[in-house]
């Protein structure tokens, strides 16, 4: 009934009254979709995946990451701020320095309690470990990052999260997991990318990233903020 009412509400909006094209390429009018519950489900899911509509469907955006402790965090923030001023690329400043484990996903607000339980249980069954940061890397033509040397502990945590939290977020991507700490992304212009990468590819950066917790971040409409920290199992 809740979904039925939400579909009615969304269909009454001018931008949704006309024909909508679904992935199956079958155009259907909003008014035609009330025939069966199946069509209500189709339209609800279709509209709620739209970035401009998902909040109206009671959904929130989250992602799961590792966030550095204060000393390293300050070093990374200094690099990000300096990069933003030099190359006029500010998007990465909307997030704290982090290593992404589960990229941004949308889910119903009521499922947040279950997600928190899963993350807490996963963290309680994880031991502290360290990661090595080693130089800079790039995903041309928009992204420059600090490279993270992968480890068994990190890969194991990554895999267990996807197993433990299904089906709360999308399936694990097929591509190989490449941990990194983003310095610039999205709003970095191609010319500025080439200019910056010619500098950063020659720069050294070596440090240790102690990992003691999982973090759940949420989008507040403008930036990402830390919602919860889940400490790992205490050392014996």
The C-alpha atoms of residue 89 and residue 46 are separated, in whole angstroms, by 32
Residues pairing with 207 in the sheet: 133
What is the reported pLDDT for 48? 60
The C-alpha atoms of residue 172 and residue 102 are separated, in whole angstroms, by 9
Peptide bond into 13 cis (omega under 30): no
What is the reported pLDDT for 177? 94
The C-alpha atoms of residue 52 and residue 58 are separated, in whole angstroms, by 12
Q: How far is CA 221 from CA 51, 80, 94, in A?
A: 11, 21, 11
Domain(s) labelled CATH 3.90.1140.10 in the chain stretch across 59-231
| Tokens describing residue 181 | 């700490």
**HSE on the CB side for 135, CA within 13 Å?**
8
**Mean pLDDT, the chain cut into blocks of 10 residues (236 residues total):** 56 47 43 48 54 62 96 97 97 96 88 93 97 97 97 96 86 90 96 97 97 96 94 84
| Tokens describing residue 139 | 């995903």
148 with 132: CB under 8 angstroms?
A: yes
What is the reported pLDDT for 220? 87
For the chain, how many residues are written?
236
164 with 117: CB under 8 angstroms?
A: no
What is the reported pLDDT for 171? 81
Nearest to 4 by CA among 59, 60, 43: 43
Nearest to 101 by CA among 51, 49, 141, 148: 148
CATH number for the 59-231 domain, one of 3.40.1280.10, 3.30.930.10, 1.20.1370.20, 3.90.1140.10?
3.90.1140.10
With b meaning 16 or more CB within 10 Å and e meaning fewer, what string describes 145-175?
A: bbbbebeeebeebbeebeeebeebbeeeeee
Can you tell me whether residue 133 is helix, strand or coil? strand
DSSP assignment of 145-181 equals: EEEEE--HHHHHHHHHHHHHHTTSSPPPPSSPP--EE
DSSP label of 22? -
What is the reported pLDDT for 60? 87
């Amino acid at each position: 009934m809740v979904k039925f009412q939400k579909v009615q509400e969304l269909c009454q909006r001018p931008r949704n009254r006309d024909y909508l094209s679904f992935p199956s390429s079958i155009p259907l009018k909003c008014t035609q979709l009330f025939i069966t519950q199946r069509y209500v489900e189709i339209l609800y899911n279709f509209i709620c995946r739209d970035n401009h509509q998902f909040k109206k469907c009671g959904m929130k955006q989250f992602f799961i990451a590792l966030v550095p402790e204060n000393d390293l965090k300050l070093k990374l923030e200094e690099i990000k701020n300096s990069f933003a001023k030099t190359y006029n690329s500010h998007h990465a400043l909307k997030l704290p320095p982090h290593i992404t484990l589960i990229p941004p996903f949308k889910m119903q607000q009521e499922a947040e309690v279950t997600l928190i339980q899963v993350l807490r249980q996963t963290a309680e069954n994880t031991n502290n470990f360290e990661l090595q940061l080693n130089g800079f890397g790039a995903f041309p033509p928009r992204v420059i990052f600090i490279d993270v040397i992968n480890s068994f502990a990190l890969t194991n945590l990554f895999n267990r999260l996807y197993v433990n939290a299904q089906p709360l977020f999308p399936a694990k991507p097929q591509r190989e997991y490449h941990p990194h700490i983003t310095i610039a992304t999205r709003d970095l212009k191609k010319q500025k990318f080439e200019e910056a990468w010619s500098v950063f590819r020659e720069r050294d950066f070596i440090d240790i990233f102690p990992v003691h917790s999982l973090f759940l971040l949420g989008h507040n409409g403008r930036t990402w903020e830390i919602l919860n920290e889940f400490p790992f199992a205490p050392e014996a």
